[in-house]
Chains A and B, each alone.
Chain A
Amino acid sequence: MIARAGLPRSPRDWAVLLALLAYATPFFWQLLTSLKPEAELMVLPPVFPSRLTWEHYRVVLGQSVMLRALINSLGVGIITTVLALGLGIFGAYGIARYPIPGKALLLLLIVGGTAFPQIATVSPLYLLMRALSLRDTWLALILANTSFALPLVIWLLTGFLQEIPVGLEEAASVDGASRPRAFRWIVLPLLAPGLASAALLTFLFSWNEFLFAYTFTATEASRTVPVALALFPGVFEVPWGDIAAASILASIPPVALVVGLQRYLVRGLLSGALRE
């Protein structure tokens, strides 16, 4: 229902589309800035530059900091997503399909977990990471991000699992399939869209996460994109063009997900909010 492909066909629809295009101006302005020649940056008007240049991207990708940060963010994001989904899918299956004592309280705690403020646990986690000699490693970020994303993943997947009729698995077991086999061949394919939604939200969370990354990292070895952007070096003047280029690079995965996989994103967003 939400996703209707194609361009508008009536003037009214064009008006709404253009209004929302205008809403995204801050982003497009940064995109334009990232392509402006250095000399034209601090002059406004004119709004549009005399020519477009890749110079800022060349500078940003030429420094090792940003390139390394993109790799770190991608690695941490993918591993966090795999780990959170791996832990979450079994946990959610346990909650949805087994008679666990205190299930209602457990679910309440998990929902509460999604509202958890990071600032409250950043100091003990910092001491923990230091004690385990994990400072400035991917593992520190992966562990912190996974534990933070896990409540939402379990919450989403439990809901999606409850929508799949138990009868299907029971029928399979009558036919002689073991529980793991029934899970693999019946539940998992039906759960795939839900898994995609949970994976998208987890990856986005990890890609965007700043507080843990800023606190637990110290060097290029593990600094993620948001941290590199926040610490963007400017010696004498603020390099607005380079910052703009770096911002656009940092935006590529979120923008790609919004444009390419909008359906799963919206579904995850909605089912996270709409149950209870």
Chain B
Amino acid sequence: MRSQRRASVQGLLLLAPALFALGALTLYPTLWVCWLSLQRRIPIFGVERFEGLGNFFFLATDPRFWKATQVTFVFTAASVALELVGGVLVALALRGQRSGARVALSFLLLAWALPSVVTAKLFEWLYNPAAGLVNFLLGGVALNWLGDPRLALPGLIMADVWRTLPFVTVLCYARLLAIPVELYEAAQMDGAGAVATFTRITLPLLRRILLIAVLFRTLDALRSFDLMFVLTGGGPAGTTETLTVYAYRSLFQIVQLGLGSAVGVVVFALVMLVAWGYLRALRHEGLAA
């Protein structure tokens, strides 16, 4: 019993520095941001007072907040759905690869590994109305992708899909390689066609990894900021302003620390809600571990 206690003390001592760092730089700021969100703080006017839930009441009737919420949901749903379908298709193509898979995978992972600010710059140039490759490949049209309120969000989503589809592919590809070939041979002997093989064998075996991919990608999409902030800055006319961009603008451009923190708290709550929901769903399916 005594040695058991000594062992846990030793274990905690080993953990202490990491826990201290996380406590000081993640947990403490998390509590602090909740406190900030209950205040009215406008440093340039010297305003600093407790307001209770005032910021949240304001957000509840703030059209800009609801617009940003809608953009966030559309962005998340569309990019995760496209990444999932595209990611699985590319993984299927890669699986049949007998030679040169490493080089092929490099081209794919390249898109994933670049800083998102670089991705924003790549697509800003691709979408250039006068000399952009996209308009040229579409047959010399003169679409103003990032300046047109109808095209900016689809343009942003495409950039995000390009950047994060490889993640889904790598997860699925690794899973596909682990499926025994005999399973497919047996299906072939039973006369199953390509579609039946995919829906009856491949897809059920990919199910768990796809759920995990959806979870990771949804959480990432909900909290993503860099790409839209640099590519469109939330414009034109707020059509690409997500909750994160709205939070940032409130915090550091309008300098309303309380209001911006309240939006940050909403993003935090959304992310935790989604994570909790998925974990429950996974456990419900008995798929944990």
**Distance (Å) between the CB of A26 and the closest chain B CB?**
4
Stretch of B57-65, B73-81, B120-128, B143-151 at the chain-chain interface: B120-128
Known: A100-B15, A112-B275, A115-B275. A204 touches B113 (CB 8 A): yes
Closest to A4 in B: B101
**Distance (Å) between the CB of A182 and the closest chain B CB?**
14
CB pair B109 A3 closer than 8 Å:
no
CB pair A117 B223 closer than 8 Å:
yes
Please give, as numbers and ranges, the residues of chain B lying within 8 Å of A91 by CB-CB distance. Answer: 14-15, 17-19
CB pair A113 B26 closer than 8 Å:
yes
Please give, as numbers and ranges, the residues of chain A lying within 8 Å of B219 by CB-CB distance. Answer: 115
**Distance (Å) between the CB of A201 and the closest chain B CB?**
10
**Distance (Å) between the CB of B123 and the closest chain A CB?**
7
Please give, as numbers and ranges, the residues of chain A lying within 8 Å of B263 by CB-CB distance. Answer: 119
Assess whether B206 is interfacial by the CB under 8 Å rule. no
Closest to B289 in A: A276
- Return the CB mask of A107-121 against B: 1 if under 8 Å, else 0: 000001101111111
**Distance (Å) between the CB of A132 and the closest chain B CB?**
11
Q: How far is the CA of A119 from the CA of B218 in the complex (A)?
A: 16
CB pair A117 B271 closer than 8 Å:
yes
CB pair A123 B251 closer than 8 Å:
yes
Assess whether B104 is interfacial by the CB under 8 Å rule. yes
Known: A88-B18, A274-B212. A27 touches B114 (CB 8 A): yes
Assess whether B230 is interfacial by the CB under 8 Å rule. yes
Assess whether B244 is interfacial by the CB under 8 Å rule. yes
- Return the CB mask of B266-289 against A: 1 if under 8 Å, else 0: 011001100100000000000011
CB pair A128 B29 closer than 8 Å:
yes
Please give, as numbers and ranges, the residues of chain B lying within 8 Å of A229 by CB-CB distance. Answer: 115, 117-118, 121
Please give, as numbers and ranges, the residues of chain A lying within 8 Å of B230 by CB-CB distance. Answer: 210, 230
CB pair A87 B114 closer than 8 Å:
no
Assess whether B184 is interfacial by the CB under 8 Å rule. no
- Return the CB mask of B143-169 against A: 1 if under 8 Å, else 0: 000000000000000000010000100
Assess whether B103 is interfacial by the CB under 8 Å rule. yes
CB pair B264 A270 closer than 8 Å:
no
CB pair A122 B251 closer than 8 Å:
yes
Partner of B115, one of A16, A146, A208, A276: A208
Stretch of A17-25, A48-56, A162-170, A189-197 at the chain-chain interface: A17-25
CB pair B131 A259 closer than 8 Å:
no
CB pair B167 A12 closer than 8 Å:
no
Please give, as numbers and ranges, the residues of chain A lying within 8 Å of B107 by CB-CB distance. Answer: 17, 20-21, 23-24
CB pair A7 B103 closer than 8 Å:
yes
Q: How far is the CA of A204 from the CA of B267 in the complex (A)?
A: 24
Assess whether A65 is interfacial by the CB under 8 Å rule. no
- Return the CB mask of A96-114 against B: 1 if under 8 Å, else 0: 0111110000000000110
Partner of B171, one of A7, A43, A226, A273: A273
CB pair B100 A98 closer than 8 Å:
no
**Distance (Å) between the CB of A258 and the closest chain B CB?**
5
Assess whether A70 is interfacial by the CB under 8 Å rule. no
Please give, as numbers and ranges, the residues of chain A lying within 8 Å of B26 by CB-CB distance. Answer: 113, 116, 121, 147-148
Which of B33, B116, B119, B130 is packed against the most chain A CB atoms within 10 Å? B33
Assess whether A257 is interfacial by the CB under 8 Å rule. yes
Closest to B133 in A: A29
Which of A21, A101, A120, A262 is packed against the most chain B CB atoms within 10 Å? A120
Partner of A118, one of B14, B94, B225: B225
Please give, as numbers and ranges, the residues of chain A lying within 8 Å of B121 by CB-CB distance. Answer: 30, 229, 243-244, 246-247
CB pair B14 A144 closer than 8 Å:
no
Q: How far is the CA of A194 from the CA of B174 in the complex (A)?
A: 18
Known: A27-B114, A121-B33, A143-B25. A99 touches B267 (CB 8 A): no
Q: How far is the CA of A117 from the CA of B212 in the complex (A)?
A: 18
CB pair A273 B216 closer than 8 Å:
yes
Please give, as numbers and ranges, the residues of chain A lying within 8 Å of B125 by CB-CB distance. Answer: 29-30, 33, 240, 243-244
Known: A112-B272, A210-B116, A257-B113. A10 touches B98 (CB 8 A): yes
Please give, as numbers and ranges, the residues of chain A lying within 8 Å of B8 by CB-CB distance. Answer: 98-101
CB pair A17 B104 closer than 8 Å:
yes
Please give, as numbers and ranges, the residues of chain B lying within 8 Å of A227 by CB-CB distance. Answer: 117
Assess whether A8 is interfacial by the CB under 8 Å rule. yes
Please give, as numbers and ranges, the residues of chain A lying within 8 Å of B30 by CB-CB distance. Answer: 120-121, 124
A-B contact pairs, 14 of them (CB 8 A): A4-B100, A8-B98, A87-B17, A99-B4, A120-B265, A121-B33, A127-B32, A128-B32, A226-B226, A254-B115, A257-B113, A269-B167, A269-B171, A276-B288
Residues of B bordering A, CB below 8 Å: 4, 7-8, 10-15, 17-19, 21-22, 24-26, 28-30, 32-33, 36, 90, 93-94, 96-111, 113-123, 125-126, 128, 130-133, 136, 162, 167, 170-171, 173-174, 177, 209, 212-213, 216, 219, 222-223, 225-226, 229-230, 243-244, 247-248, 251-252, 257, 260-261, 263-265, 267-268, 271-272, 275, 288-289
Q: Which 4 A-B pairs have the closest CB atoms?
A: A98-B11, A94-B14, A147-B25, A8-B100
- Given A112-B272, A148-B26: 10 more A-B contacts, CB < 8 Å: A8-B98, A30-B122, A115-B275, A117-B271, A121-B33, A154-B18, A210-B230, A229-B118, A240-B128, A244-B125
